Amino acid sequence: MYQHYDIPQPKWDPKHNKWILSIMIDGKRKQFASRTPKLPGKKECRERCLEWLENGKSDNSSKSLSTAINDYLEDYQIRHGNNEQIINLSSMFRSFLIPALGDRKCSTLSFQDWQGVINNAKPVARYRKDGTAYCKTQNLSRKYLSNIKGAIISFCKWAYPRHYLNEMPTDLYLPSDAPTIGKEILQLSDIEKLFTDPIGLWYERALMFEVLTGWRPGEVLGLQRSDYDPVTGIITVNRSLNARGIITPGKNKNARRTIELTSEVRAILNEQLEDTAYLESEWIFCNPLGDLPNQAAVRKCWKRIVKRKGLPEATTPYSLRHTFFTHTESYLPDRIIKSIFGHSQRTDSHNLYGVHHVTEEAHEAAQRLAVTPIYKSAFKEEKVE
């Protein structure tokens, strides 16, 4: 047990701005470090040492980062299941951390090593059918670098108390010259093209519905007939369909919300229900066999629409959500945006939180949306008197 050892006091290293506690155990020297300043950091060093001794002097710090990451992902999957987040984390580790530091021992990794991963991250090459490599952009966006930083912090928070790491990296930052890349959206003229003379593709109405509601693609595809009341026009987000075809409760706790559709959007939805009634499917935007829809198929449908109607090639089904926000946010007060957008954090200048029950604002939201530029462009002919 740890009480048999004489534990020295941590010492402050002014050159590296951290506390260091060095102890000799069974002929081997072990160091613990903390960048937390003053007494809290000193206490943290001692507590790490005590925990290490009490738990049998774990040798996790001798493992390579690749092994440690595998341990982390296995533990994450046990605790949280095989969700979308573990796929994103695995991608970040495989693309950036493992190529840069995978063979290094965890105990040797420093703040500079973790920061170097962020500073030196470049777009991962993709390959064409002929085998030639290409990159969509020259530099990663600030948001993408932020995701890499988040993956590092997530791993380190797990690894540090389990003695894989000797120190917890703090104050990781994004390069000051990291570009902020805007999201491609549809302009009002593009929206008019989209709604003029529909092509008749299977998922076309689902995409039009997304433009007019601002919902996430997975939320639109997750709609069931029981979620919609055609008499009142009230519809509720109860679930979401992720890219792997798995039904989830939604992106965040605020995602479940109820809105009232305008008469024009109700007409689109009613047509969808009538045209697919013979399939007897529970899903509003079901696949051609009446089964659960598929995000990949929706993306293919969107590409065909973009090509046929001359819409911006860089847009995606998710771009339609940003299109909605861009063309409505200046025309709607925050309290209305809160009732329809279903976001957990501040987006641009707005604090967006979902509303979980029908209120008078649902009816007001429908009235206000009907006169926004996005609706006027979508239903231009109907608005002409």
Tens of pLDDT along the chain (385 residues)? 444 567 888 999 888 888 888 887 655 677 888 888 888 888 888 888 887 776 655 567 788 999 999 989 988 887 777 777 888 899 999 999 999 999 999 989 999 999 999 999 998 888 888 888 888 777 888 888 999 999 999 999 999 888 889 888 988 999 887 776 666 889 999 999 999 999 999 999 999 999 999 898 999 999 999 999 999 999 998 898 988 888 887 655 556 788 899 999 999 999 999 999 999 999 999 999 999 999 999 999 999 999 999 999 989 998 998 899 888 888 888 777 776 766 444 333 333 333 334 457 778 888 888 899 999 999 975 443 4
Q: What is the pLDDT of residue 5?
A: 60
Q: For residues 48, 54, 56 and 61, what is the CA-based torsion angle, rounded to 10 degrees?
A: 0
Q: Are 135 and 123 in contact (CB under 8 A)?
A: yes
Q: Are 205 and 316 in contact (CB under 8 A)?
A: no
State how far the Cα of 318 lies from the Cα of 173, in Å rounded to an integer: 28
Q: What is the pLDDT of residue 57?
A: 53
Q: Which CATH number fits domain 188-383: 3.40.30.10, 3.40.50.2300, 3.30.420.40, 1.10.443.10?
A: 1.10.443.10
How is domain 62-162 classified at the CATH fold level? DNA polymerase; domain 1 (1.10.150)
Nearest CA among 263, 198, 197, 250 for reference residue 221: 250
Helix (H, G, I), strand (E, B) or coil at 121: coil
H-assigned helices in the chain: 38-54, 65-80, 84-92, 98-101, 111-120, 142-159, 188-195, 204-213, 217-221, 263-275, 295-309, 319-328, 334-340, 360-369, 373-378, 380-383
